[in-house]
Amino acid sequence: MQGMKNPMLFAHKAALLLLIVFFTHGCSRDKGEEAPAYDPGKDPVRIGVCVPEEGISKEYSKKFLDGIRVASGIMGVINDARIELGMKDSCDSTDLDTIIEHMVQEGLQGFIIRTGVKTQSIAAFDAEQGGITVVAAGRSNPDRKPRVLRLGSSLADQARAAALFAVRSLKTQRVAVILDQDSSSCILLASMFSSELINVGGRIENITYIEDTSGEIESSVISMMQHIPDAVYIPYSEDTTLAAISLAKKQGVSADMIVSNVMLEQRFLDEGGRDLDGVYLITDFHPGAVQSQRGAALIEEYEENPKDLGSLETCSALGSEAYFLLCDLLSQPLDDVTDDTVISGGKTITGITGTSGSGRITKSMHACQIRSGIIRGTRTVYKESINPL
HEC string for the chain? CCCCCCHHHHHHHHHCCEEEEECCCHHHHHHCCCCCCCCCCCCCEEEEEECCCCCCCHHHHHHHHHHHHHHHHHCCEECCEEEEEEEECCCCCCCHHHHHHHHHHHCCCEEEEECCCCCCCCCCCCCCCCCEEEEECCCCCCCCCCEEEEECCCHHHHHHHHHHHHHHHCCCCEEEEEEECCCHHHHHHHHHHHHHHHHCCCEEEEEEEECCCHHHHHHHHHHHHCCCCCEEEEECCCCCHHHHHHHHHHCCCCCEEEEECCCCHHHHHHHHHHHHCCCEEEECCCHHHCCCHHHHHHHHHHHHCHHHHCCCCHHHHHHHHHHHHHHHHHCCCHHHCCHHHHHHHHCCCCCEEEECCCCEEEECEEEEEEEEECCCEEEEEEEEEECCC
The pLDDT tens digits of the residues spanning 290-299 come to 999 999 999 9
Q: What are phi and psi of 266, to 5 degrees?
A: -65, -40
Q: What local confidence, expressed as pLDDT, does residue 53 receive? A: 66
- Greatest alpha-carbon pair distance for the chain in Å reads 72
Q: Is the pLDDT of residue 119 over 90?
A: no
Contact 208, 224 (CB under 8 A): yes
pLDDT band with cut points at 50, 70 and 90 for residue 342: low
Q: Is the pLDDT of residue 379 over 90?
A: yes
Q: What local confidence, expressed as pLDDT, does residue 5 receive? A: 46
Give the integer Cα–Cα distance in Å for 193 and 159: 4
Give the integer Cα–Cα distance in Å for 204 and 190: 11
Mean pLDDT value across the chain: 81
Please state, for a pLDDT cut of 90, what percent of the chain lies above it: 47
Give the integer Cα–Cα distance in Å for 184 and 78: 42
Within 10 angstroms of residue 252's Cβ, the number of other Cβ atoms is 7
pLDDT mean over 350-379: 87
Contact 244, 234 (CB under 8 A): yes
pLDDT band with cut points at 50, 70 and 90 for residue 24: very low
**60 vs 346 pLDDT, higher one:** 60
From residue 103, alpha-carbon distances to 14, 49, 98, 134, 327 in Å are 10, 11, 9, 12, 16
Superfamily of domain 155-283+366-386: Response regulator (3.40.50.2300)
Q: What is the pTM of this model?
A: 0.84
pLDDT band with cut points at 50, 70 and 90 for residue 76: very high
pLDDT mean over 67-93: 88
Domain ranges of the chain: 7-152+289-353, 155-283+366-386
pLDDT mean over 262-272: 94
CATH 3.40.1170 fits 7-152+289-353, yes or no: no
Q: What local confidence, expressed as pLDDT, does residue 221 receive? A: 80
Q: Is the pLDDT of residue 267 over 90?
A: yes
pLDDT mean over 105-111: 89
pLDDT band with cut points at 50, 70 and 90 for residue 23: very low
Q: Is the pLDDT of residue 27 over 80?
A: no
Q: What local confidence, expressed as pLDDT, does residue 228 receive? A: 87
Give the integer Cα–Cα distance in Å for 198 and 254: 22
Contact 68, 17 (CB under 8 A): no
Q: What are phi and psi of 80, to 5 degrees?
A: 70, 10
From residue 18, alpha-carbon distances to 4, 85, 184, 187 in Å are 21, 9, 37, 40
Greatest mean pLDDT range, 54-63, 140-149, 180-189, 272-281: 272-281
Q: Is the pLDDT of residue 9 over 80?
A: no
Q: What are phi and psi of 86, to 5 degrees?
A: -105, 120
pLDDT band with cut points at 50, 70 and 90 for residue 6: low
The pLDDT tens digits of the residues spanning 52-73 come to 766 567 888 889 999 999 999 9
pLDDT band with cut points at 50, 70 and 90 for residue 347: confident
Q: What local confidence, expressed as pLDDT, does residue 89 receive? A: 66
Q: What local confidence, expressed as pLDDT, does residue 278 receive? A: 96
**27 vs 182 pLDDT, higher one:** 182
Q: What local confidence, expressed as pLDDT, does residue 121 receive? A: 32
Q: What local confidence, expressed as pLDDT, does residue 150 receive? A: 86
**43 vs 347 pLDDT, higher one:** 43
Same fold, 7-152+289-353 and 155-283+366-386: yes
Q: What local confidence, expressed as pLDDT, does residue 211 receive? A: 79
pLDDT mean over 103-123: 68
Pairing between β-strand 203-210 and β-strand 352-355 as defined by DSSP bridges: unpaired
Strand partners, 352: 363
Q: What local confidence, expressed as pLDDT, does residue 54 receive? A: 63
